[in-house]
Amino acid sequence: MIELYHIWKQYQEGQWALTDISLYVKRGDFWFITGPSGSGKSTLLKIIFREILPTRGQIVVDSVNVLRLHDHKIYRLRRTMGIVFQDFRLLFHKKVFDNVALGLHVLGTPMKEIRRRVFNALRMVNLHQKMWEYPSHLSYGEQQRVAIARAVVNEPQILLADEPTGNLDPELAFEIISVFKEINKQGTTVIICSHDKELIRHFGDKILFLFKGKIIGKEVLPSSKN
């Protein structure tokens, strides 16, 4: 599903954010990428969704060489992915419904279908009753669930999350990762960057450990379905 071959990334001369990263993520996998701040987790994620380009290496997502993708065709890659951020990135002047519907509007989905899918996505994160509220009226945990609903509403093959629980207390963090687990059970490949050891210990079955841009370990627990 996602193949990373010897990925190197340099932001400044002499400073490598990523060093020779290779990884193979199978369809339906649930991966945690962990490591301390500055270890390169977010950089790796950004390379996967083609926000930035690696300095060296190759990346293939669903048989498409991401580096050969023209700028004006990046949207095709993005439509196969859902992305969740630590800061939620919601539009606070739009209602919950409109925030979630955004990903469907860009696909030109008919309004009737948008209503159905937004409702289903919000029901999955247990927020369907707050569909017509503004994000500012919701708690942090609820806001993050809106962001997750937005990421999964167009049923992406891959769900990427960059520190999705970074702003949440442990209880809410567990709740959020449980939602990701549920989504993964339906066949979506999930990659989460997190430095929360407690969460990883509880939910992680495939874990990539990064330190200063290098892989210092990979762990595939026996409980992992793959």
Rounded least distance, CB 221 to other proteins, Å: 31
Which CB sits closer to other proteins, 106 or 216? 106
The yes or no reply on residue 79 touching other proteins (CB under 8 A) is yes
The yes or no reply on residue 164 touching other proteins (CB under 8 A) is no
- The counts of H helices and E strands in the chain are 7, 10
Query: What H or E segment, with its residue span, contains residue 56?
Result: strand 56-61
Give the tokens for residue 198: 């407690």
Task: Report how many residues bind other proteins under the rule CB under 8 A.
Answer: 20
Among 76, 181, 185, 197, binds other proteins (CB under 8 A): 76
The yes or no reply on residue 113 touching other proteins (CB under 8 A) is no
Rounded least distance, CB 102 to other proteins, Å: 6
d(C-alpha 208, C-alpha 210), whole Å? 6
The yes or no reply on residue 66 touching other proteins (CB under 8 A) is no
- Longest CA pairwise span in the chain (Å): 53
- Residue 165 has phi, psi (to 5 degrees) of -110, 10
Residue 56 CB contacts under 8 Å (≥ 6 apart), including other chains: 6, 7, 8
The yes or no reply on residue 154 touching other proteins (CB under 8 A) is yes
The yes or no reply on residue 95 touching other proteins (CB under 8 A) is no
Which CB sits closer to other proteins, 103 or 204? 103
- Residue 143 has phi, psi (to 5 degrees) of -60, -40
Give the tokens for residue 210: 């990064």
Q: Which residue has the tokens 């991401």?
A: 66
The yes or no reply on residue 111 touching other proteins (CB under 8 A) is no
Rounded least distance, CB 83 to other proteins, Å: 5
Parallel/antiparallel/unpaired status of strands 214-220 and 206-211? antiparallel
115-134 positions binding other proteins, by CB under 8 A: none
- Residue 188 has phi, psi (to 5 degrees) of -80, 135
Among 22, 26, 65, 107, binds other proteins (CB under 8 A): 107
Q: Which residues bind other proteins (CB under 8 A)?
A: 49, 71-72, 74-79, 81, 83, 89, 91, 93, 102-103, 106-107, 150, 154
